[in-house]
Amino acid sequence: MKKKMHVFASVLALTLAATSLTACGSKSGTGTTGTASPAASAGAANSTAKDTITALLPPVSPNYQKNFDQMAKDFNALYPNLTLKIEPASWEDVKQKLDTQVNAGSPPDIAFGGSDGIPKYIQQGLLMDITDSATPDMISDYDKAPLDYMRNGKGLYGFPAYMEVHALGGNKEFLEKAGIDWKKVQQNGWTYDEFRDAIKKGVVTENGKTRYGFVFAVKGVAAVDYLGIMAKNAGMPYAFNNDMKYAYTSKNYLGLLKDLRQLIDDGSMPKELSSVDAGKRWNMFLTGQTMITGKGLAVFENSAKANNAKLTAKDASAVKDSIPVDYVVLPAPTFQGAKASSAAVVDGYLTFRGKKEPTAEHKANVVKAAYFLASGKVAATTNNDLFAAHITKTAKKEAESMKVDRNADNVAAVENMLKNATPARSDIPTDLAAKAIKLETEVIVPKFQGLIAGEVSPQQMYDAVKAAAIQAFGEDGIVKD
């Protein structure tokens, strides 16, 4: 029996040793593949072997998904050995689908998503760094600012599709009736006090119904947008300052919370604001229940125009009780003397890998597909559809022959805001970013909902955020001023 045990133990030990060696061997193999030399990448880029690239794409713009077949055909015409297989998804389930696939270890090669999701996917280890596969021609095609949003540390994790600013939107007629020089605001911005006075003037009660000065969608996750956009203009462009200290413990944050609560107490915003979601606030805007709404994107001008056309044509599908609206792009106000820092949103084509390390050839093919989607004709068509600025030279050139019906004042206003856009931060470590997201979801959003419902005071919310920040980042990891 003893002898048998010895033999069994020896076999087991040898098996374990062999497994470890195999593991080491495969690790070194993957390492080589993962850090392919430029020469190898160049070779891979010229490979003509057949390959299929999968892409999970939501309806990025109103007509985007209608063009999928043409996009796949054009890609195949450009690279006859490659097939672009597009999986369409709705906005409602694209994130869920992607997250499920990522956590199962089998994401698509490309997925459309926000650059703010990059740290989260890096932590899962499945986002693919394409620094060594993206050619200099591809890189030089992009404006620097949006491309930087797709970076984390030294890595590049996809190509940006557009760079937009989160702004506010106003009803031109109501703004003028309230005596607000909206063109001046578009050019020079406004301070919190100016904004507060303006939206007070926008409150009108007629036939027992109130039109508010300002309504922002804050229900659920939209609460992050409101607070986030305003925080950037209150001297806190990111959750971490340049010394990597958590910024939302500064006195500016408390001041911002007091200011935002004050707008409701003034009666300029509805006291039921905490129940207003994105759909509701847009409905309120189109039905004349508010003078200014947020958040606003340039494409909302297009939506307003579409509804105006339906009203003119007496089309029954126009929003019920809506009125004709001239949409005016407005910047968010600045708080406590801080410099304007427009909230930029950069979405794009994120590149993923599976559990198995991709070959250099496949990686190069994924990069070709991501670049195809994020530049040239595809980007020009999509961004025009979105009223978004073009961020590649190739798209700008393609767009020259395309006609877009956009208000010139709004175009100039967006350009002004883009000049002040918050620059990308690729230096924030993924573990800190993940902790900040958790703190935001578990403490900031619920407390902010309580604050706008009038059940949590600004001081109580500030104290709760500070206590959670100390727990997450330590006493030395937060801003103290």
Partner 1 sequence: MADIVKPMKRRKIRGEGAWGYAFIAVALVVFAMFTAYPVVSAFLISLQDYKPLGSTYIGFDNYVNTFKDALFWKALRNTVVYTILTVPVNLILSMIIAILILPLRKKTQSFFKGIYYLPVVASGVALSVVWLWIFDPMEGGILNQLINLLGIENQNWLGSGKTAMFSLVLMSWLSSHGTSIIIYLAGLLGIDETFYEAADLDGANFFHKLWHIVVPSLKPATLFLLVTGVIGSFQVFQNAYLMTGGGPDNATTMVGLLIFNNAFTYFDFGKAAAQSLILAVIIAVISVVQFKYAGKDVEY
Does residue 442 belong to the site contacting partner 1 (CB under 8 A)? yes
Sign of CA dihedral 164, 165, 167, 171: negative
Does residue 436 belong to the site contacting partner 1 (CB under 8 A)? no
Among 450, 457, 470, 472, binds partner 1 (CB under 8 A): 450
CB of 309 to partner 1, least distance (A): 25
Neighbours of 438 (CB within 10 A): 12
Among 274, 351, 410, 422, binds partner 1 (CB under 8 A): 274
DSSP readout, 312-323? Answer: HTT-TTSPTT--
- How many whole angstroms separate alpha carbon 126 and alpha carbon 106? 9
Q: Binding segment for partner 1 among 6-14, 143-151, 266-274, 405-413 (CB under 8 A)?
A: 266-274
Q: Binding segment for partner 1 among 5-13, 33-41, 377-385, 453-461 (CB under 8 A)?
A: 453-461
- Whichever of 85 and 355 has its CB closer to partner 1, that residue is 355
Backbone angles phi, psi at 438, to 5 degrees: -65, -40
Contacts of 465 (CB under 8 A, 6+ apart): 248, 249, 253, 439, 443, 444, 447
- Whichever of 107 and 331 has its CB closer to partner 1, that residue is 107
CB of 58 to partner 1, least distance (A): 17
Half-sphere exposure of 124 (CA within 13 A, CB side): 21
289, 291, 293, 296: CA torsion to nearest 10: 130
- How many whole angstroms separate alpha carbon 262 and alpha carbon 333? 14
- Whichever of 211 and 368 has its CB closer to partner 1, that residue is 211
Does residue 404 belong to the site contacting partner 1 (CB under 8 A)? no
Among 60, 399, 456, 478, binds partner 1 (CB under 8 A): 456
- How many whole angstroms separate alpha carbon 228 and alpha carbon 212? 22
Does residue 116 belong to the site contacting partner 1 (CB under 8 A)? no
CB of 27 to partner 1, least distance (A): 11
Beta strand pairing status for 110-114 and 51-57?
parallel
**CA R_g for the chain:** 26
Q: Binding segment for partner 1 among 44-52, 79-87, 176-184, 438-446 (CB under 8 A)?
A: 438-446
Q: Binding segment for partner 1 among 143-151, 214-222, 251-259, 311-319 (CB under 8 A)?
A: 214-222
Asked if 272 contacts 290 with a C-beta cutoff of 8 angstroms, the reply is: no
Does residue 239 belong to the site contacting partner 1 (CB under 8 A)? no
- Whichever of 177 and 271 has its CB closer to partner 1, that residue is 271
Asked if 369 contacts 158 with a C-beta cutoff of 8 angstroms, the reply is: no
Length of the chain: 481
- Whichever of 284 and 370 has its CB closer to partner 1, that residue is 284
Among 32, 96, 140, 242, binds partner 1 (CB under 8 A): 96
Residues binding partner 1 (CB under 8 A): 96, 99-100, 102-105, 120, 123-126, 209, 219-221, 270-275, 355, 434, 437-438, 441-442, 445-447, 449-450, 452-453, 455-456
